[in-house]
Amino acid sequence: MDSHAFFTVWILTAIGSCLCQDRAVGEDVEFRLINPPPAPPFQINWYFGSVLIYAASAGTVNGVVPSYEGRASLDPNTATLELRNLTVNDTGEYTLRVIMSIGQPEKEWKTTLRVFERISSVTLEANQTELVEFNSSVTLTCSASGSSPSFQWFNNSAEVTGSDRVLLDNRTLTVLNVTRYDNGPYRCNASNIVSFEMSSDVTLTIAYGPDSAVVTVEAEYYSSGDNVTLNCSSESSPAAQLQWALNGTLLDEKGPELRLSDVLTSDSGDYNCWAYNSKTQRYKLSSPTSITVLERLSDAAITIAGSPGPLIAGKSSVNLTCEAKGSIITRKWMKNGETLSPETGRITFSDDNRTVSISPVQKEDRGEYTCQVSNPVSNAEGSETLIVKYGPEKVEIKGEGHEGAVEFGQKIHLSCSAESVPDCTYTWTLNGTDKIGTGASFIKENSVYEDSGNYTCTAFNNITKETNKTDFNMSVKAPGSLGGQGGLSAGPIAGIVIGVLVLLAAGGGGIYILTYILKNKR
């Protein structure tokens, strides 16, 4: 390869700590050909701009301009120029002109060096740091010493990008209508091609809220005498001032906690909490929180009132009223341990379940009535027995022995019963006219034929004044006709025997005596 061809591939570069043409003040740089010449060039000239700063010929350095004395050197064998302790004034274009040998044409290469001051003294300032959410805007300004700084912004380590509300102008950052999330901390990074430096943090104080006020309480219902604590919280910066209200009226109590000691029923109501932020000048009212103070229940009782006198089925009406000491929220009625329900047209309940009205009462209404009263903090119950007078009903006669028949001389025993409250009295008649006895039983030891007939038992309830009766047909039969001995005593039997003997002895007269005895038997 000839010399001309070789120089066409020579490339001039600046090298130092890195292969680049940018340096910081105080650093060193070398300018050299990537492919050094195979022999020392005949003539070497280095120019800064149009000023010759270094020269060499035939392998000998001829000199350096005074401004580069002590900080510049030239290698006459390779044409390499070294500059030390650079200043910003060294920024510019450098030209190398080389004649390899006598008679050869001059060749020229150019490169540019930029020398930068390092970034330092980076400071960040805000035009204000106390702001109000949605009302305030802020501008942050970043300053730095050094050459051609550029700026990058960070909010809590995340890079800030521009938007309708966030305006970036290199060294300034403007945030319009700040929100609580714009508080930072902010930092700016100032940099140039040779260095960078991060500023200290700037944190904004952004007042916001109160967004809401929330009242909490352990329960809704309390017994009189209990202690109650309500708590109010609000999202606000700075912390909101809190004041309490009851049923829309402000109370003297302030702060996040309202303590009520030994509460009364008059402490019941809707409690609110007002939250106020003195920085934002904004208020917030909580939703109402209701508490109810109740008297504990005791002495539950049922009172019975109705028609004068005793309750009579089908005639009387009655009201059962349930009362108790304390705060009654619910009443429930029971009868004989089972839930009492209304009955259309006869058993009705008042709207508050306080009174049960029965009109008219029936015998099925008798029994034990219980009223159960309750509220969320206590319960009680009272009972009362309802007695209903009724009857007589279902009057019935029963007889001993054969149904409706006895043999002559046997005992007649009839029993009469009826459903009745109170117990009724009984009167016995025979064949509708003759009163033959009183009481639940009719007994006749020795029946005769004249005892045959229709027996009537009449039942009478002295309270209801009701009468009811039933009949029983009784027949007195001949001895032995019902399979028994007729119930005759020894005297009649002896008479029969004598009559038979006389019959055998006297013929027709015996017939008369036997007839007489049989008549007596009838």
**Arithmetic mean of pLDDT, 473-491:** 71
Share of the chain above pLDDT 90, in %: 78
Q: Are 443 and 428 in contact (CB under 8 A)?
A: no
Signed CA dihedral, 508, 510, 511, 512: sign only: positive
Looking at residue 483, what is its pLDDT?
A: 77
Alpha-carbon distance 210 to 240, whole Å?
7
Share of the chain above pLDDT 70, in %: 89
Q: Is the pLDDT of residue 14 over 70?
A: no
Looking at residue 499, what is its pLDDT?
A: 40
Name residue 9's amino acid: V
Q: Comparing C-alpha atoms, which of 34, 39, 41, 71 is closest to residue 55? A: 41
Q: Comparing C-alpha atoms, which of 26, 21, 12 is closest to residue 92? A: 21
Q: Is the pLDDT of residue 511 over 60?
A: no
**Arithmetic mean of pLDDT, 213-228:** 96
Alpha-carbon distance 44 to 77, whole Å?
10
Looking at residue 501, what is its pLDDT?
A: 38
Q: Are 432 and 408 in contact (CB under 8 A)?
A: no
Q: Is the pLDDT of residue 120 over 60?
A: yes
User: How many CA atoms lie within 13 Å of 112's alpha carbon, on the beta-carbon side?
Assistant: 2
**Arithmetic mean of pLDDT, 120-142:** 97
Q: Are 377 and 221 in contact (CB under 8 A)?
A: yes
Q: Are 464 and 389 in contact (CB under 8 A)?
A: yes
pLDDT bracket for residue 503 (50, 70, 90): very low
Looking at residue 508, what is its pLDDT?
A: 44
Signed CA dihedral, 202, 208, 211, 213: sign only: positive
Q: Are 200 and 187 in contact (CB under 8 A)?
A: yes
